[in-house]
Structure 1
């Protein structure tokens, strides 16, 4: 026979059992049976309120607790429960008042402190929340959750040391819990304590094998140290476990992009955006990936989506500016660079890109200033670093009676182009001028008497004595106030020695119009895919011009003359030991035809006619915009520009026509 409770204590016990077993409707009915007998029974009112809340009847729950408080005005628990009801319903001020009432009655009521702390977090009052959770840890020192939450708050407020102690205390109290390990690991990453952080993330994974955060955090950390393959494994596992978490797919996309797994990276970014369409960083990195793949229109759309999601996104403004500059929308590109800098004046990439654009437009005054950002450590593709010299970098100070070192940067062509400034420094009264250069250029500069007291190769810099100043070669124009109209443009300013010329002259064809060829630049150059020709075969239309003698000056990636039996090519490139040798050959040619590489600058500096084939994409600033000549090498350089991205055939056709006219043979 089933027992039927009849007394109030029996009914209350039955209601408690019904509530704990997930039967709130039965619990409410039983509690009401008690209230019919004893309308102010505190336990019955509390049980009825909890049951009504479980059933979604918030008004009834509030009414039961309000009734309890009218009958029992000093019941702290009722105030705390009513506050929790208000907080869950978004009535934050009412909740705050209820929690404070509870604590006014019972100052050591830990649950009320914890609930008030959680409410303060919602209200953005983190300092007050910290005070609440501190009190909870004092009242319940063995409660791991309170220490953990206090750690989160302290980290948010910058209390790194105390936050770490809180996380470690939570781990000590509840070592099987993975979340404190994860948060401690994140804290350690911020302090660059990477080995300790890695251990924390691995322990989090051990504690929760199905957890997403530990794997995701470990994957990001491994990627930070360049261990991309291992990072991808953990992030792929995290993505499988947390298929609905956009950040995991985004981080995996970043790692796959670093591994050049572009298709998979794109799929990850698009998966992240499917889950969270307003993920600005995913739009931005997808744009970077698409730009890298030369899918420029899609990249531009991605950057615009990033800006729609986050209007104050300076990096997206900068990269959108790059794409606009690529498509020759120079005014719009400048606008986006300036908008990026208005948001973040120190953004090195935007300063550098705007500087490049202004220099290309001939606006040298501001351009040189911004161009100084080129060796900022935040520029990712920047291979240049400040030399470790025991004397200061020149900032434009008076050089009369002083000594200075001119330090090389960037490529061979840059050193050749800017060595022209040494005589101008002499005019400033420099007492001692030392030129440091790459080893391959030393003999050329010695032969040409460029104006230095001493020329030191990079391999010899341990012998460099003390000077008052040092300066990058490409910073000299800024300090000397160079404008387009004041470029020191007298050519030639380099020479080849008669002895070298005689030696190489014996190798050159005695008859014909001598044309030197260079069809590829250095493969390590960041724009080499665009600036170099696919191969020597791209120049084959030139073979049909009669009376020409072609000389190969290509040192690397050359093709043997036997590849083109219809046009003999004297391939001297592999035999050229340094730029002094190359200069001796060029000095005896009638014309040089080359892509944008150091040979163009060498020919120009020697005063030798040179035609330069320029790409549509990322044309170097020094060739400026819309010009067919160069103010750096007036009268000797002629520029042939691509009109469409990647299309060299039309450029070579124009060169062939011009070659026929100039050689007088067409």
Structure 2
């Protein structure tokens, strides 16, 4: 038991840094018992509770700290960030504006405020905040990355691609190679390997640039991908070798790069987006293998309703459950096939009333299997996850369901189509969100397709 509040506070900080949350909490509480107005202990206890996911307790401690020291910008910033994650946007904005007013020379405060404004569809104001952050600190990685999303969504590609590279300053992925990073040098006679992007969808989206490296004169082009993509990527034209992450990788490369770095190096603009689909193909033997296990008549529709739960915006981009798609059951002669893997996969076993869903997903070993199934379908309906990218890359008709809140940059704004995937149709939530009108629109469109001769 401590008798000195400052020593209790210092010990708590050490325990917090070591990951001992229980010990740290005990010491912070001791410090506060000895010195109730110890602002730093109160604020750090709020941070600890936030890390534990105890949002209400974290908010309580942050607000208590602010009451004791209302002119401390970091306290307002912490509270604003917490409320932002909880989508309490008006309260978050008030806290973030207070932080920016109290610390007008803080690039982080301006970047955070900009992110909130952009998420509430005030993009010009948000951009001004990002620009202010970058005027204060030109290399501020988070402000650059946030600005890249805004610019790319608006098709302001040249600056957007440049800013997007800032993600690697704070989102490190443990894969690099013992050779120079390619920045557009001549490739004649050279070898180059494409490293890994974190998401399966990102890999599928940007692997389309690999053949362009061969067209630049590269003698040897290789791709390193997630194991679940290896067989599928063997169909990618212009690629000599496909390696799965975790395999022993050969050396001797002249250059390496990342797939999402290539649009900028190739000067991609709206008119030059490489959208020659399909650029991935299903294996004919697998297509034949799956053909007999799928509906043989009617409109065959693949469904994917949830993404990776670890994705930061998954709660908004994913449907709550398969039950959300219940209105589709009313479409006569539509036969549904589950493409849902992982979270939500078992829901196909108990679909909405009147909807039969072929629950084959447990037998899909990798994306090559999923591609073969999709090749046998007439349509894929998916939330913003890798299945949608795969359908688009295969040139299969795909209806993509998009959230209003923090919709990904690549789908741009207010479009019903996308230049990245010509076979894709976009269904967007209305302003303010909600899936009910989206599903109603999809059901009506599906009924229209089903009755066509």
Q: Partner of 1:286 in structure 2?
A: 79
> Partners in 1 of 2:439 and 2:452 — Cα distance?
17
Alignment partner of 1:554 out of 327, 340, 347: 340
SS of 1:520's partner is: coil
Question: 1:665 Cα shift?
Answer: 6.0
Q: Partner of 1:88 in structure 2?
A: none
> Partners in 2 of 1:510 and 1:565 — Cα distance?
22
Please show how residues 116-195 of structure 1 align to structure 2 within 5 Å. none
1:544 aligns with 2:330: yes
Q: Partner of 2:434 in structure 1?
A: 647
Q: Partner of 1:156 in structure 2?
A: none
Q: Partner of 1:632 in structure 2?
A: 420
8 Å CA contact 1:219–1:235 kept in 2: the answer is yes
> Partners in 1 of 2:30 and 2:438 — Cα distance?
50
1:583 aligns with 2:371: yes
> Partners in 2 of 1:617 and 1:487 — Cα distance?
26
Q: Partner of 2:246 in structure 1?
A: 459
8 Å CA contact 1:615–1:645 kept in 2: the answer is no
Structure 1 regions of 5+ residues with no counterpart?
1-204
Question: 1:562 Cα shift?
Answer: 3.7
Alignment partner of 2:297 out of 511, 525, 541: 511
Encode CA deviations 1:579-605: one digit per residue, 9 max, x unaligned: 111001111111100000001110011
Encode CA deviations 1:296-347: one digit per residue, 9 max, x unaligned: 1111110011112222221111111111111111111111111011111121
Provide closer, same or farther for how the CA distance between residues 388 and 416 of structure 1 changes in structure 2, counting only shifts above 3 A.
closer
Alignment partner of 2:120 out of 323, 327, 332: 327
> Partners in 2 of 1:338 and 1:570 — Cα distance?
50
Question: 1:482 Cα shift?
Answer: 0.9
8 Å CA contact 1:530–1:615 kept in 2: the answer is yes
> Partners in 2 of 1:367 and 1:495 — Cα distance?
30
1:501 aligns with 2:287: yes
1:468 aligns with 2:254: yes
Provide closer, same or farther for how the CA distance between residues 646 and 228 of structure 1 changes in structure 2, counting only shifts above 3 A.
farther
* Root mean square deviation of aligned Cα: 1.5
SS of 1:560's partner is: helix
1:349 aligns with 2:349: no
1:295 aligns with 2:295: no
> Partners in 2 of 1:222 and 1:388 — Cα distance?
33
Q: Partner of 1:58 in structure 2?
A: none
> Partners in 2 of 1:506 and 1:439 — Cα distance?
27
Question: 1:663 Cα shift?
Answer: 2.4
8 Å CA contact 1:419–1:450 kept in 2: the answer is no
> Partners in 2 of 1:312 and 1:603 — Cα distance?
46
Encode CA deviations 1:509-551: one digit per residue, 9 max, x unaligned: 1111011100000111111111110000000011111110111
> Partners in 2 of 1:517 and 1:236 — Cα distance?
50
> Partners in 2 of 1:464 and 1:617 — Cα distance?
43
8 Å CA contact 2:330–2:354 kept in 1: the answer is no
> Partners in 2 of 1:503 and 1:620 — Cα distance?
35
8 Å CA contact 1:407–1:471 kept in 2: the answer is yes
SS of 2:395's partner is: coil
SS of 2:233's partner is: helix
Alignment partner of 1:237 out of 26, 30, 38: 30
8 Å CA contact 1:219–1:232 kept in 2: the answer is yes
8 Å CA contact 2:322–2:348 kept in 1: the answer is no
Provide closer, same or farther for how the CA distance between residues 263 and 545 of structure 1 changes in structure 2, counting only shifts above 3 A.
same
1:429 aligns with 2:222: no
> Partners in 2 of 1:450 and 1:237 — Cα distance?
64
Question: 1:229 Cα shift?
Answer: 2.1
SS of 1:525's partner is: coil
Q: Which has the larger radius of gyration?
A: 1
Q: Partner of 2:58 in structure 1?
A: 265
**Matched length:** 451
Higher relative contact order at CA 8 Å, sep ≥6: structure 1 or structure 2?
Answer: 2
Q: Partner of 1:100 in structure 2?
A: none
8 Å CA contact 1:355–1:371 kept in 2: the answer is yes
Encode CA deviations 1:371-426: one digit per residue, 9 max, x unaligned: 001111xx3xx3x4252421121122111111111111121111111111112111
Alignment partner of 2:102 out of 304, 309, 320: 309
8 Å CA contact 1:239–1:248 kept in 2: the answer is yes
Alignment partner of 2:155 out of 350, 362, 366: 362
Question: 1:280 Cα shift?
Answer: 0.8
- Give TM-score, length-normalised by structure 1: 0.66
